[in-house]
């Protein structure tokens, strides 16, 4: 039976309950064998991250630790160049040549897919899983709309790549920026954070204002 592997990338700056809820949701909806969290080294659309890659990696590991179906992949952290998804997926496809690969993103990211580096190669490497909230859509007559018309599928066929799967995301939106602001204000027991992740942040004095 073909192995089914999902990948959820992000800066995870910091990782929060919303990331884990999305991971569980997609894992269950698509009956995946495993789902890997991939901390970005240097996302092309962001100038920098608030804390180092090492801290973000460790926080992701802490958040994933209670769940056997989740793991953390540091594939993007051993490089000094921007984290282009197509390059990461090429490496993942080499590691898993016979598996069905599912690359997870939000509708906000998919709506700008045509601006991504070599976006046209993504569907040759994996399925795209687009998590959307009520009211989310792409622009009329856009390239992304055409891609949905051509490649969207409600059920994945025998192929290991090449489909776009849209899932209605029932989970609430969490802002990492708001979490960082709460941490900078020395707020405690932040509900959007796993307590073990918050303990790690406190122990290493992350996201504290510069004095």
Averaged over 134-157, what is the pLDDT?
Answer: 87
Residues in the chain: 211
The mean per-residue pLDDT over the stretch 170-177 comes to 78
Contact by Cβ (8 Å): 89, 129: no
Q: Which two structure tokens, joined as six digits, stand for 69? A: 């179906």
**What are the start-end ranges of the H helices in 10-117?**
17-29, 53-64, 85-95, 107-110
* pTM score above 0.85: yes
pLDDT tens column, 42-58: 766 666 788 999 999 99
Instruction: Find, among 12, 7, 6, the residue nearest to 57 by Cα.
Output: 12
Over residues 2-7, the mean pLDDT reads: 96
- CATH number, domain 4-174, options 2.40.50.100, 3.40.50.620, 3.10.450.50, 3.50.50.60: 3.40.50.620
Confidence of residue 157 (pLDDT cuts 50, 70, 90): low
Q: Is 94 exposed, middle or buried (0-12, 13-18, 19+ CB in 10 A)?
A: exposed
Could you state, in order of their start, the residue ranges of all structural domains in the chain?
4-174
- E strand segments, 50-99: 70-72
pLDDT reported for residue 187? 84
For the segment 93-118, what is each residue's pLDDT rounded down to a tens digit? 999 999 999 999 999 999 999 999 99
**pLDDT recorded at residue 172:** 64
Q: Are 39 and 74 in contact (CB under 8 A)?
A: yes
């Amino acid at each position: 039976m073909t192995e089914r592997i999902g990948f959820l990338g992000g800066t995870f700056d910091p990782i929060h309950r919303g990331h884990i809820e999305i991971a569980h949701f997609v894992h269950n909806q698509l009956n995946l064998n495993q789902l890997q969290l991939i901390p970005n080294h240097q996302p092309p659309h962001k100038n920098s991250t608030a804390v180092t890659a090492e801290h973000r990696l460790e926080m992701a590991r802490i958040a994933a630790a209670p769940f056997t179906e989740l793991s953390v992949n540091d594939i993007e952290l051993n490089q000094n160049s921007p984290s282009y998804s197509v390059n990461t997926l090429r490496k993942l496809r080499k590691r898993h040549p016979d598996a069905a690969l599912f690359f997870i993103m939000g509708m906000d990211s998919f709506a700008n897919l045509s601006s991504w580096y070599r976006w046209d190669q993504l569907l040759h490497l994996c399925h795209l899983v687009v998590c959307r909230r009520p009211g989310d859509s792409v622009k009329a007559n856009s390239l992304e709309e055409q891609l949905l018309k051509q490649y969207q599928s409600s059920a994945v066929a025998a192929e290991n790549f090449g489909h776009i799967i849209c899932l209605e995301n029932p989970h609430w939106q969490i802002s990492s920026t708001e979490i960082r602001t709460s941490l900078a204000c020395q707020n405690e027991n932040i509900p959007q954070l796993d307590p073990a992740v918050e303990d790690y942040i406190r122990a290493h004095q992350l996201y504290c204002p510069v004095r």
